[in-house]
Amino acid sequence: MSDILDLTAGQALDRIAAGELSNEEYFDAYAEAAAGDELGAYLWRAQAGSANGAGDGPLRGAPVAVKDIFCTEGIETTAGSRILEGYRPPYTATAVRKLAEAGGRVLGKTNMDEFAMGSSNENSAYGPVRNPWDRERVPGGSSGGSAAAVAGRLAPWAIGTDTGGSIRQPASLCGVVGFKPTYGAISRYGMIAFASSLDQCGPLTRDVMDAAILLRALEGRDPCDSTSVGIEGGVELPSRTDLKGLRIGVPRELSADAEGIETGVTEVFERTLGLIADLGAEVDECELPHSAHGLSAYYVLAPAEASANLSRYDGVRYGLRAGSEDGTAETALVSMYERTRAAGFGAEVKRRIMLGTYALSSGYYEAYYGRAQRVRTKIAEDFAAAFERFDYLVTPTSPTVAFKLGARAENPLAMYMSDYCTVPMPLAGLPAISIPAGLAQPDGGGPDLPVGLQITSPAFTESGLLGAAFAIEGAIGFDARPGGTG
Amino acid sequence: MIDRDQVLHVARLARLELTEDELERMAGELSTILDHVERMNELDLDGVEPTSHVVALENVLRPDNPRPSWPREQVLESGPDPEGGAFRVPSPQA
């Protein structure tokens, strides 16, 4: 049984194909593991024995954990918010439907920061998620439940969403692989909207091969999402073992000069650069001059889009409606809206709605939203210039290792800094993957915790990016595991 | 740099009821965040085109084929107060 949980999903699929493992046995091993979740990773779990059907297709009946931001027909979908408590969507998100069509089965719905707004999973209305490496620490966010479930062997793999780092940063903090594909690679239909020009679905997995297998099932154009285009030529499974002939750029602004970067993170990153050079790549410094302004642009654009997207939660069509006081007829409807949103949204969501509404309000629009959109252009141009010289760019994924629960909860800006290295890529729409690069102690001492390496490539070059990540993963040989998860 | 009255105004625009305590805290927190955001003002952005979407797409069309939508009952079930095949709300009129 523990033997089954030790397999990567790719290895398990091979065993199922060879008749050495039944898909029911595989599903039930994880359903039982998930039933014993002590990390707070799940909000809903499938029962053991509930896997039925042949489990055809490339995923062969394998269980997949799904972030609670994806609509699942008949299964409660809350996006981590009180305002959607009890909501059972009448339809299933395209990403989840495609997993099912490929033979995957939903193992559970994973905990997350409310509406994907957060970097620690502490903004969930349903309680925090604990990091399996140290339960006093956060798993990162917003896909914290998905990352913790995969790292804690409560799921073989999972899907999440990334708007400013919500797949890559928790993957980094939990020591797993997290991949945000190019904007448009995977349909957003049925994925509860946070910031529509940035949101993208992607896999969180044990290794790069598993990420490629899941991405293969997920990508594709969807008539229900007119911004989806899929990945031309599909996704090749990675096999690269060297980086000969490749030029790898190291943007100073997002590595050595990154704000708040920890010593241990820098050490692991520099060691990894040595391994990349040993694989035959030409490694050189480069510049992304506007990336230091990425966070500023992001924390205007994402809240602005969110303030519009979240206007739909008004107590009329789904979820919570706050009881009306004895308001006069004149104010009854508006006061119902205001009370429902006051009762249903948590502090961070309110903060972002306020920030976004302010940035879009009359007289401030050009100063905030207009400027942020122009910074976005400059950031995309920086990447384009860097990719004239380099095939891939590498940075640390997170400036720090996992921090303690509560450490940044009272300081929104400190929390936002968690996304320093991950925000520029979605602003430019680019694919980026985080892979475990080693362990390091936090500044000031503490346990050894995972450090992620982020690799970025030009739009729609997923196969190449996965190949490079696969080669680097092989050279790193990360085999550490979280203790104390039983 | 953003005061209590402005917070109150924005909260009304956002249809969000804030407690006294939230109003005070929000004014401080938003000011801190906006201070950081205003670092963008260091940049010369004259003549730079704004980006609203990163993938070059225009006029994505599909054939106009009618197909059934979700069952009305199922959609109404999600609402807090379905009534007579519709969502019932408090009166918007005086």
A335-367 per-position pLDDT tens digit: 999 999 999 999 999 999 999 999 999 999 999
Among A92-101, A325-334, B25-34, the range scoring the smallest mean pLDDT is A325-334
A positions 287-316 inside 8 Å of B (CB): 290, 293, 295-297, 299-300, 307, 311, 314-316
Angle of helix A347-360 relative to helix B20-37, nearest 10 degrees? 60
Catalytic annotation on A361? no
Please determine, for residue A191, whether its predicted confidence score (pLDDT) is greater than 50. Answer: yes
For tokens 């490749």, name the residue: A246
Angle of helix A208-218 relative to helix A462-476, nearest 10 degrees? 160
pLDDT at position A114 is 98
pLDDT at position A229 is 95
The answer to whether residues A52 and A18 touch, using CB atoms and an 8 Å cutoff, is no
User: What total number of domains does chain A contain?
Assistant: 2
CB contact under 8 A, B39 and A459: no
What's the average model confidence in pLDDT over A126-138? 98
Nearest CA-CA partner of A23 in A112, A104, A138, A111: A104
Residue of chain A with shortest Cα separation from B62: A223
A425 with A326, same domain?
A: no
pLDDT at position A105 is 96
B34 min Cα distance to partner chain A (Å): 8
A171 min Cα distance to partner chain B (Å): 25
A173 with A45, same domain?
A: yes
Half-sphere exposure of A255 (CA within 13 A, CB side): 25
A335 with A444, same domain?
A: no
When mean pLDDT is compared over A52-56, A76-80, A414-418, B69-73, the highest value belongs to A76-80
B34 Cβ partners below 8 Å, 6+ apart? A355, A358, B1, B2
Structural domain including B9 reads 1-37
CB-based contact, A52 to chain B, within 8 Å? no
Higher pLDDT, A483 or A456: A456
Catalytic annotation on A142? yes
For tokens 């995972």, name the residue: A450
The CATH number given to whatever domain includes residue B4 is 1.10.20.60
A64 with A178, same domain?
A: yes
Could you give the CA distance from residue A443 to residue A264 in angstroms, rounded to a whole number?
Answer: 7
> For residue A387, what is the enclosing H or E element?
helix A371-389
What's the average model confidence in pLDDT over A187-215? 98
A193 with A310, same domain?
A: no
Give the β-pairing of A392-396 and A247-251: parallel
Could you give the CA distance from residue A286 to residue A403 in angstroms, rounded to a whole number?
Answer: 29
**Is residue A282 in a domain?**
no
**Is residue A14 in a domain?**
yes
pLDDT at position A486 is 36
Tens-place pLDDT, residues B17-69: 999 999 999 999 999 999 999 999 999 999 999 998 888 788 888 889 999 98
Q: Which two tokens stand for residue A359?
A: 């940035």
What is A102-166 written as a DSSP string?
Answer: TT-EEEEEE--SGGG--SSSTT-TT----BTTBTTB---SSSHHHHHHHHTTS-SEEEEEESSST
CB contact under 8 A, A357 and B87: no
The CATH number given to whatever domain includes residue A8 is 3.90.1300.10
With vertex at residue A229, the alpha carbon angle to CA A223 and CA A232, rounded to the nearest 5 degrees, is: 130
Of all residues in chain A, what percent carry a pLDDT higher than 90?
93
A206 min Cα distance to partner chain B (Å): 30
CB contact under 8 A, A375 and B40: yes
A39 with A123, same domain?
A: yes
**Is residue B57 in a domain?**
no
Which of A226, A300, A351 is closest, CB to CB, to B26?
A: A351
Higher pLDDT, B78 or A115: A115
Tens-place pLDDT, residues A443-482: 999 999 999 999 999 999 999 999 999 999 999 999 999 9
User: What total number of domains does chain B contain?
Assistant: 1
pLDDT at position A485 is 41
A29 falls in which pLDDT band (50, 70, 90)?
very high
A154 with A29, same domain?
A: yes
A316 with A240, same domain?
A: no
Please report residues of A whose CB lies closer than 8 A to that of B41. Answer: 371
Residue type, A114: E
Task: Compute how many other C-beta atoms are within 10 angstroms of the C-beta atom of residue B25.
Answer: 15
A358 with A409, same domain?
A: no
pLDDT at position B92 is 77
Nearest CA-CA partner of A473 in A433, A430, A426, A432: A433
A140 Cβ partners below 8 Å, 6+ apart? A119, A120, A121, A131, A147, A169, A170, A171, A172, A173, A174, A398, A402, A418
Sign of CA dihedral A264, A448, A33, A60: positive
0.95 exceeded by pTM: yes
Which of B45, B74, B94 is closest, CB to CB, to A329?
A: B94
Report ipTM (2 d.p.): 0.95
Structural domain including A236 reads 2-246+390-476
A410 with A326, same domain?
A: no
A221 with A331, same domain?
A: no
Cis link prior to A142 (omega < 30° from 0)?
yes
A317 with A402, same domain?
A: no
Q: Which of A119, A120, A124, A142 is catalytic?
A: A142
**Is residue B94 in a domain?**
no
**Is residue A264 in a domain?**
no
Please determine, for residue A417, whether its predicted confidence score (pLDDT) is greater than 60. Answer: yes
Which of B7, B45, B78 is closest, CB to CB, to A87?
A: B78
A325 falls in which pLDDT band (50, 70, 90)?
low
